[in-house]
Amino acid sequence: MSPMGASFALLVSSLLVGSPSAQPQPEVVHEWTFVDYVWPDEESRIEALQNGDYIPENCAITGLKVYNGDIFVTTPRWKPGVPAALSRVVDGVLAPYPRWELQEIGNCHAFQFVQSMEIDALGRMWIIDTGRAEGFNYSEPCPAKLRVWDIADERFIRMHEFPSSVVPPTNFLNDIVVDLTEEDAYAYITDANEAALIVYRYRRDESWVARHEVMLPTPGAETIIINGVEFSTNTAIDGIALWNSEQVYFCPLTSFELYSIPTEILRNETLATGNLDDYIIEHPQRPSQADGMVVVGDTLYFGSLAENAIYSYRVNNSYEMVARDDVTMEWVDTFAVSDGYLWFTTNRLHLFFLGQLAEDEPNFRIMRVPL
């Protein structure tokens, strides 16, 4: 840890968590007990249900982005029976995006496991794919990939296959932010299985990996209690956010800590792949473990899992609760920003992995709160 990081941590360690007197009420945009898809025809849906290609309770919404009025979501293949990894929400149903043919399991030209994506200011969707769908036997998994899709032109403009030395087959590419510079573009990607931060440079079509001990799970933070339900996880670096193209914020899921590192360090392959002790900045401890996060202006937003809440954070300031709801906000996952709103998914992910999702009430929601 750098002296700057340690001093900063001591400076703010006494700050209290604040809670505003009046919080805006989050709006539910869509909600589902279980999600369904736009099928080619009803016969295809029935066949998928019968042969196990579609198991509704195994389809969990995680990733979210909103662009030009369209809502895009991911349904990762943690379990069998997830027919599409990436979709667009159409009249409350998931339409596989960009098309059904790109959802085929075992086809390395198609999506295998998409946890997250990002859409940049130029209308390009950056899609990360681990290369394998869980619960399926592969003789050999597909390579992990980063695909860049031009939304307006409806075509892929880049496909980067990560070297196994950067992203091994055991990876869990979890979240992504995109950094547009005057002459280039960079993607910063968390790998929760390998406790690593992947850097991709667009202009040279190159990637490298940064590692540091703070990307590992924090001992003692494994248990999360949500509405009385205990859930344990040992997950490394997970959430990521980009501040003003200058700092990348990140945190392990299994942790109360929040860290950042300058983008100028990550963009330099020599520095990024070396010892990062002098560059990591430690911020105040958060009130709970968190999954996704996002920066809007000079404010960082993240979900507080144990509190069913969203907090904001400004450097040199305290954490402040933005919204909370014990019914609709169980496991705040991914964020998006559009039309003056902070959008987010909630998905009861703890109940999903415990096999305890409700069958008679909503489990998955897309919500928003005014900024």
Q: Do the Cβ atoms of 175 and 292 come closer than 8 Å? A: yes
Structure token digits, residue 36: 């369904």
Mean residue pLDDT across the chain = 93
Helix ranges, the chain (H): 3-12, 42-51, 263-266, 269-272, 349-354
pLDDT of res. 315: 72
Residue 242 makes CB contacts below 8 A (sequence gap 6+) with: 177, 178, 179, 188, 248, 249, 263, 295
**272 and 260 in contact (C-beta within 8 Å)?**
no
Residue extents of the structural domains in the chain = 3-370
d(CA 312, CA 322): 6
Does residue 2 surpass a pLDDT of 80?
Answer: no
pLDDT at 11 over 80: no
pLDDT of residue 139: 62
Residue type, 251: C
Examine the pLDDT at 9 and tell me if it is beyond 90: no
- Can you give the pLDDT at residue 8? 37
Q: Is the pLDDT of residue 23 over 80?
A: no
Residues 6+ apart with CB under 8 A from 68: 123, 151
Distance from C-alpha of 157 to C-alpha of 136, rounded to nearest angstrom: 29
Cβ atoms of 96 and 77 within 8 Å: the answer is no
Task: Kindly report whether the peptide bond that precedes residue 24 is cis, defined as omega within 30 degrees of 0.
Answer: no
- The residue written with tokens 């009130």 in the block is 287
pLDDT at 138: 59
d(CA 220, CA 240): 22
Enter the tokens of residue 126.
């950056």
Taking residues 327-350, what's their average pLDDT?
98
Instruction: Over range 9-14, report the average pLDDT.
Output: 38
3-class SS at 292? coil
What percent of the chain stands above pLDDT 90?
89
pLDDT at 135: 61
pLDDT at 273: 98
Q: Is 281:5 a contact under the CB 8 Å cutoff?
A: yes
DSSP 8-state symbol, 127: E
Other Cβ atoms within 10 Å of 48 Cβ, number: 16
**Does residue 13 carry a pLDDT above 80?**
no
pLDDT of residue 10: 35
Which pLDDT does position 1 carry in this prediction?
52
- Pair 300, 249: CB distance under 8 Å: yes
Q: What is the pLDDT of residues 36-45, one digit of tens each?
A: 999 999 999 9
Contact 369, 339 (CB under 8 A): no
- CB atoms under 10 Å from CB of 337, counted, come to 18
What pLDDT was estimated at residue 122? Answer: 97
- pLDDT above 60: residue 366: yes
Q: What confidence score (pLDDT) does residue 25 get?
A: 86
Tell me how far apart the alpha carbons of residues 2 and 280 are, in angstroms, rounded to a whole number: 6
Query: Under CATH, which number does the domain 3-370 receive?
Result: 2.120.10.30
Tell me the CA distances in angstroms from 82 to 54, 56, 71, 347, one per residue in order. 6, 8, 19, 15
278-298 per-position pLDDT tens digit: 999 999 999 999 999 999 999
**pLDDT at position 219, please?**
96
pTM (2 decimals)? 0.93
Mean pLDDT of all residues in 168-179: 96
Give the distance, in angstroms, between the CA of residue 51 and the centroid of all CA atoms in the same chain. 30
The contacts of residue 43 (CB under 8 Å, 6+ apart) are none
pLDDT, position 22: 64
* pLDDT tier, 136 (very low <50, low <70, confident <90, very high otherwise): low
Q: So what's the pLDDT on residue 276? A: 98
Position 78 pLDDT exceeds 90: yes
Contact 8, 345 (CB under 8 A): no
